[in-house]
Amino acid sequence: MPTRPRSFAFCGGAYGDEGKGRLVDQYVSDYAKQGRVVVYRDNGGSNAGHTVAFDNTKVALHQLLSGTFIEGVTTILGKGMVLHPGDLLEEIATVKAATGGGIPAKILIDEMAVVLLDTHRAYEAVLQDFRTGNRGTTGRGISPAYVDVLLRHPIRMRDFKPLNKKKLSEHYRLYQALCAGLGQELEEKEVPTLSGSKQKVGNETAFIKRAQAQAAELEQFISGVFDVVQDAWGDEKTTFVFEKGQAVGLDVRWGVYPDFTASETTFSGIFSSTEGVVNPRDIEVRAGVIKATYMSSVGIRQLPSVMDKKLADKIREDANEYGATTKRPRDIVYFDVPASAFFARVGDLTHLVATHMDIVYPNMPIKVCVAYLHNGKTVPYRPDQAYLHTVTPVYQEFAPWDVAQLKAAKTRADLPKEAQRYLEFLEKSLGVPMLAITTGPKREEGIEC
Ligand code: IMP
């Protein structure tokens, strides 16, 4: 079956924070020079976070997409997302401050996208206090908002155009009862805002008043997007870039039980979010972004390929491995082939993008977990923490490469021989070819493969 030309999708190929925002930004700005570009996201919300460079300023985006700073681009926040109105307005204000006025891209919010409110954040915190053991979430209320959909009482973005006060009032009372049932008062709960400061949920009147002010500002962005997506997808001169939130290893079905996010982080979520318009199998390039020489993870999952602590601490500082949303230090582990090959398969990847190729050290072999053993037998990866505790990693070492030679390379053939061999190893063991690599944090430090 032929795929649709000019269509690209990027997802995290491991446990998140692989640097897809930069890739998406690059593809969008390159293709925007040739014609119309649509950027679409179908999952997640303000649990995501990526930094985009605009002129000389760096701006952290969460719910807004990577093409936001590019003139003429249409960005669509799709049905499968959970969107926090207050955070959205804060982000829009940040974008306007960075540009000195306007928003370069057009922002369309699907009227069917789910609204995530302070009530969800409060309830997630109340649950956290009630249960034993931290569940490791970002605290942004993501799973309660998705649960609203399963329980068939979500607030949709169209309930903010204009504000459906009755629905919001019922919603507030439900969450008030849920919190009270677990011994806490919703009104008094303090929840995080986008910038990290805390804000009281307040009483019902204050809650609705806030929503009303937000609705008045957001209305202009909210609309039915079905026709826009259908027309643009049907016009093969339009470039489509799908920017997933999170990563395959955090998927609601494929993530390490019990620490995963509540959305579909594989490309399959695009099918339902676009209401069947875009079959992800028709997307020409479906790339999984991975860190080339190690993996990072933030949450409570404990990955088997535990790294030497000194090296992990060094990589954390060198690669600035701190959460973009929560600033939590990320766990750093050795690159795990069984897990990555699993993600490539269930994620239905056609390509890989290997980032952080510059994170290698002279005279220090790159240690890679190439298999798992259990009772002396080779066993597969499975997305279950209890199971992962029972496996013993088998390691293979690869020669490091010269970083100066890596950074000077303009093509794959110019790369140091050791780096070329390592990339071939990744392609072979994950079963997917490379689309591109990045050799440093700067925009120009990348090579198409
Ligand atoms: P939630 O998405 O806040 O419900 O968190 C569920 C799990 O996903 C936790 O382990 C989070 O740390 C993790 N997570 C969610 N979003 C991201 C992300 O963008 N990068 C890395 N980890 C994430």
Over the stretch 2-32, which tens digit does the pLDDT of each residue have?
999 999 999 999 999 998 988 898 999 999 9
Query: Ligand 1: residues whose CB is within 6 Å?
Result: 16-17, 47-49, 136-138, 140, 142-143, 246, 250, 259-262, 298-299
CATH class of domain segment(s) 4-112+222-287:
alpha beta
Q: Hey, what are 45's tokens? A: 């919300």
> Average pLDDT in the 190-201 region?
90
Which CATH number is 115-219's, of 3.40.1160.10, 3.40.30.10, 1.20.950.20, 1.10.300.10? 1.10.300.10
Of 22-26, 335-339, 408-412, where does mean pLDDT reach its minimum?
22-26
Q: Compute φ and ψ for 274, nearest 5 degrees.
A: -90, 15
**Residue of higher predicted confidence among 323 and 372:** 372
Percent of the chain with pLDDT over 90: 88
CA distances from 41 to 4, 346, 366 (A): 18, 19, 34
* 84 is an active site residue: no
pLDDT at 325: 67
CA 371 – CA 391 distance, rounded (Å)? 9
| pLDDT-derived band at 52, boundaries 50, 70, 90 | confident
**pTM of model > 0.85:** yes
Of 42, 50, 84, 348, which is the active-site residue?
50
Superfamily name with CATH number, domain 290-448? Adenylosuccinate Synthetase, subunit A, domain 3 (3.90.170.10)
Q: Quick check: is 17 catalytic? A: yes
The reply to whether 115-219 shares the fold of 4-112+222-287 is: no
Q: Which of 84, 250, 295 to mutate to test the pocket of ligand 1 (most atoms within 8 A of CB)?
A: 250
Q: How far apart are CA 302 and CA 306, in angstroms?
A: 8
Report the separation in Å between the CA atom of 437 and the middle of ligand 1, taken as the mean of its atom positions: 25
Rg of the chain over CA atoms, in angstroms? 22
Token output for 102: 């306007």
pLDDT of res. 321: 94
Give, to the nearest 10 degrees, the angle between helix 85-99 and helix 204-218: 40
For residues 106 and 33, what is the distance between their CA atoms, to the nearest angstrom? 16
Question: Ligand 1: which of 66, 137, 147, 148 to mutate, judged by most atoms within 8 Å of the beta carbon?
Answer: 137
Kindly report the average pLDDT of the chain as a whole number: 95
Q: Spell out the domain ranges in the chain.
A: 4-112+222-287, 115-219, 290-448
Reported as a pLDDT band with limits 50, 70 and 90, residue 425 is very high
Ligand 1 centroid vs 137 CA: distance in angstroms? 6
Q: Tens digits of per-residue pLDDT, 86-98?
A: 999 999 999 999 9
Q: Which has the minimum average pLDDT: 129-143, 286-300, 400-414? A: 129-143
Choose one of 138, 140, 147, 251 to mutate for the ligand 1 pocket test, by most ligand atoms within 8 angstroms of C-beta. Answer: 138
